[in-house]
Amino acid sequence: MNAQMILNEIYGTPVQDPAVLALAQQLEQFTKDYESGAMSKDEYIELLADFKTQQLIIAQCNDLAAKERLNSIVNVVINAASVLV
């Protein structure tokens, strides 16, 4: 899958996460830089690997955010229950 295909996939997604959109802009920018000869192939390959790593960071952040939301819900339930008991 090349950079343009990844970008088409991201921009074609109905629900657009701002973090993913920022990532797409980065990919667009450094792909342009590579195509204009501003960076070497090795550097571009490393940045593509970072792109995957950043996707992983976004997924891990979403996991932690979900746990935080669940923590809030559990606390609300426990506090409500302790009032009733």
Residues forming the site for another protein (CB under 8 A): 19, 22-23, 26, 29-30, 33-34, 38-40, 43, 46-47, 49-51, 53-54, 56-58, 60-61, 63-65, 67-68, 70-75, 78, 81-82, 85
DSSP letters, 24-56, are HHHHHHHHHHHHTTSS-HHHHHHHHHHHHHHHH
Nearer residue to another protein within complex by CB, 15 or 64: 64
CB of 74: closest distance to another protein in angstroms? 5
Nearer residue to another protein within complex by CB, 4 or 71: 71
Alpha carbon separation from 73 to 6, 41, 62, 66, 83 (Å, rounded): 36, 48, 17, 11, 16
In whole angstroms, what is the distance from residue 22 CA to residue 71 CA? 28
CB of 19: closest distance to another protein in angstroms? 5
